[in-house]
């Protein structure tokens, strides 16, 4: 008498549930860290934009002989935000600004004050 020991291979319901639980646990750990990292990256990008704006203001003042109380316009500093005359304000905006525009993101201010982010001025500050 021959006994048939053929067995179908596959995963049981318990094994599949364990894998799904492990994936859910890993997602619960990873998603908050991803959100925090994205927020930090956006803040750093905004601060770097503020540094570039401040450097452009100072360079404009040096080249044109302005007093410390002078206030440059965006047209004044545009050429100092890029390479030569190719400067542009179109790529200079706060990443958290839904309008994605320079005018809605930053206030230039006078030469003796730092530029300010209009979106998150409390956290996006020059050091």
pLDDT category of residue 51 using cuts at 50, 70 and 90: very high
pLDDT (tens digit per residue) in 5-24: 666 778 899 999 999 999 99
Nearest to 57 by CA among 11, 18, 95, 92: 92
pLDDT band for position 85 (cuts 50, 70, 90): low
| Mean pLDDT, residues 97-126 taken together | 89
Residue 2 has pLDDT above 70, yes or no: no
């Amino acid at each position: 008498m021959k006994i048939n020991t053929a067995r179908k291979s596959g995963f049981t319901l318990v094994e599949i549930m364990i894998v799904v639980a492990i994936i859910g646990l890993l997602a619960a750990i990873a998603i908050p860290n991803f959100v925090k990292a994205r927020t930090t990256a956006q803040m750093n990008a905004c601060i770097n934009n503020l540094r570039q704006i401040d450097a452009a203001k100072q360079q404009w003042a040096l080249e044109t002989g302005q007093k410390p109380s002078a206030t440059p316009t965006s047209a004044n500093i545009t050429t100092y935000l890029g390479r030569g005359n190719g400067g542009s304000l179109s790529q200079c905006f706060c990443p958290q600004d839904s309008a994605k525009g320079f005018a809605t993101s930053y206030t230039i201010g006078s030469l003796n004050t730092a530029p300010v982010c209009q979106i998150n001025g409390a956290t996006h500050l020059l050091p």
